[in-house]
Amino acid sequence: MIAVLQWTTLAVCALVAVLRVPSALRGENRSLFGIFALATFAIMLSINAIYLPVDAWLGSENYANLILRFLIYGVVLLAGYKIAKGFDAQRSIWLIAGPVGLTVLALVTVATVVPFLLANTAGSSTGLGTLPDQSANNVDLIKLYTVAGRFYPSFVAACLLPATMRTMRSGLPRLPRSGAAVLAVGASAMILLSLSDLLPRHLAYLQYFISSTAILGLVLGLTLMWLSRVLAAKRLVRR
């Protein structure tokens, strides 16, 4: 079931990225294509059948997981900035791309790289779930690494939620409001994912559903916003 969910999420993101290729080649909104492409690569590295051979090629030290983290940071930063700009949410833009956001990103980067380098990451493990105990001075290094990896997306999501909620309640046409609603669902899932380690062990599988909801909400929400702009531009031309 989880594998089906992961491959379905990959297929959706890859399809959206492919549909954006013609526009990107024309020089139209290439950043949007970049977001979809990075999201596709990130999902690929979260799938066991792809992760294991890639990490083996990198030396079986789980560097593929570290690459995955930074792919996610890149997607979230670019998408968050683009969404906030699209909604003309100046406060969200400042929080994400201003001094506060860049400081948070820098701290998260340190909190991601340092525990990873200190931990024993030998032996490829998708999600790092099968690595041996990583405690050092009563600090679980992999746990710290995981918490840092989930914090940044939840931070950006929290910055975007007010703007998406405001757009949902606005007088805009249905399509952009629908896009905002889907983005709000994705942002909420990102925030929930940062708290998902609190789930009981027998419900841990829900993390995969929350993660897929976050990704699909982001990608499909951006797609709906893009379509609304395309349709609006066509209506202006007809006039």
User: Given a cut of 80, is residue 129 above it in pLDDT?
Assistant: no
> Lowest-confidence range among 22-31, 144-153, 175-184?
22-31
Rounded-to-integer distance, Cα 127 and Cα 119, Å? 14
**Lookup: tokens for 173:** 């046409």
If pLDDT is split at 50, 70 and 90, which confidence band does 157 have?
A: very high
pLDDT at residue 47 in the model: 92
Task: Give the number of other CB atoms < 10 A from CB of residue 208.
Answer: 18
Question: Whose CA is closest to 103, among 177, 155, 147?
Answer: 155
If pLDDT is split at 50, 70 and 90, which confidence band does 233 have?
A: low
For residues 173, 178, 180, 186, the Cα torsion angle rounded to the nearest 10 degrees is -170
In this structure, what are the phi and psi dihedrals at residue 136, rounded to the nearest 5 degrees?
-140, 115
SS3 content of the chain, % helix, strand, coil (to 5): 80, 0, 20
> Lowest-confidence range among 24-28, 136-140, 177-181, 203-207?
136-140
**Lookup: tokens for 25:** 């080649």
Is the CB of residue 82 less than 8 Å from the CB of residue 104?
Answer: no
Euclidean distance between the first and the last CA atom of the chain, given in angstroms as a whole number: 49
pLDDT at residue 176 in the model: 86
pLDDT in tens, 74-93: 999 999 999 999 888 899 99
| DSSP per residue, 66-100 | HHHHHHHHHHHHHHHHHHHHHTT-HHHHHHHHSHH
If pLDDT is split at 50, 70 and 90, which confidence band does 135 have?
A: low
Task: Give the number of other CB atoms < 10 A from CB of residue 52.
Answer: 15
The model's pTM is 0.91
